[in-house]
Amino acid sequence: MRRAVAAHGMEPLQNAPSTSLVERTVVEAIDALATPKVRNAVIALALRWGRHSSIPERGSEVADFFRGPLFAAAEQVLGLGAAESLEMQLAPIAGMLASVEVSSVRPSAPPEDDDFPLLRISSVPPEVIAPRRSPQFATDPAPPHVPVVAVASMDPGGLSEMSLALAGVATVHPAQDALEILDELDHRETDLVVIDCRRPVVSVETLLALGPELPPGARIVLWGERADLEHRLSTIGIALPQSWVCCGPHASAEDVGAVCRVLLD
């Protein structure tokens, strides 16, 4: 029984038993490298980029899926080393199925081209924290919650600018890739994420494809996104969630900081 792809990805796999040898093999191979949540993200991206409703099961299209969309998705989320390790683990079953003569192959629309969204990663300075508050004493009331804002940018200057814009208001964490963004939202009680679209570590399209893995109502601010974003998204059938806010290409760090302050109130 095949599982259908959700609007922006695929249904969670961890709570449902695999029904095909290929799917079981893929799930087990990725589980050896990542958590079930991240595994779901990798498979969801691969299915979207390969334009499949489910993981191929027959003939050469299995090998094509492994070498193409699945490898690209694993590289984007887990890194090149993990993608190469996954490819090696899956090579035996891909070779076995490619050598089997099949009388009927499920048609699937091929990708329009071989280009997959690139996840650009760069070194980001260590965690930047807003100025310290005055020391707390035993007689003081419990300190209030300090909001956490994750900033995803290839530009160290952008991280510093946002830290200054939010000084005294929030703690700023760097996020270097899609996996860290997921981790920030899922495990660190991050209040919102700022994506520096001028020098992004992950494209908006890739982040939207991870929609099912993002917490419901996740608040994301797009800093410097081009004006044609809605048109680009409409061509691939994706709408921007209502909890996401766009700050145009001319927005300064102070402008974005002001938006963040409103969202954090």
How much is the pTM? 0.54
Domain 148-264, classified CATH 3.40.50.2300, yes or no: yes
Radius of gyration of the chain (CA): 21
Query: pLDDT tens string for the chain (265 positions)?
Result: 334 334 444 444 444 444 588 888 899 888 888 888 788 888 888 888 888 888 988 878 888 899 898 998 888 777 788 888 898 888 888 888 766 644 444 555 555 555 555 544 444 444 444 445 444 444 444 456 788 999 999 888 888 999 999 998 999 989 888 888 888 887 667 889 999 998 888 888 888 877 777 787 889 999 998 888 888 887 777 788 888 899 888 899 999 999 999 888 8
CA distance 194 to 136: 30
Parse the chain into domains and list their residue ranges: 5-98, 148-264
How many CA atoms, within 13 angstroms, populate the side-chain half-sphere of residue 172?
Answer: 29
